[in-house]
Amino acid sequence: MKSQMPRSTLCIRPLARLRGMTRLLLALAGVILLAVTALAAVWLLGQLLTGLGVFVVGAVGVLGRLLWFLLVTGLLGGLVYFVTSAWRPALRARGGGEAARSGAAARPAGAAPVRLEKPPVTSDTSA
């Protein structure tokens, strides 16, 4: 027994099924494309965070070594300052008198003081 539908509707129904299948395939392709794009975005974010982590670890290493250097140089500099300010054999040899403290200890005992004379002032401005 044949169907009761007119012939024109029998031809349209397979086209409707094809359209429905095309929509389904396009939707499936869209979901797959969206999933691949999201996976690529997560991978890229992981790469960026890995690079940032490597940078932070390197910076911590450099700053740690810099801190160690500054501490050691500060301690050694303080030690040198203490030793040089506390140990003055020239003052002890002379008895630490007032003349030694005024700056005379910086010059040898037999040396005459150096006096600088000012050059004469002239009004000639030609160069």
Q: Which of 84, 65, 66, 88 is nearest to 76 (CA)?
A: 84
The answer to whether the Cα torsion of 99, 103, 109, 115 is positive or negative is negative
Per the prediction, the chain carries an average pLDDT of 81
pLDDT, tens digit, for every residue of 110-120? 777 777 787 77
Per-domain boundaries in the chain: 10-89
Q: Which of 1-5, 64-68, 80-84 has the highest mean pLDDT?
A: 64-68
Residue 11: its pLDDT value, please?
55
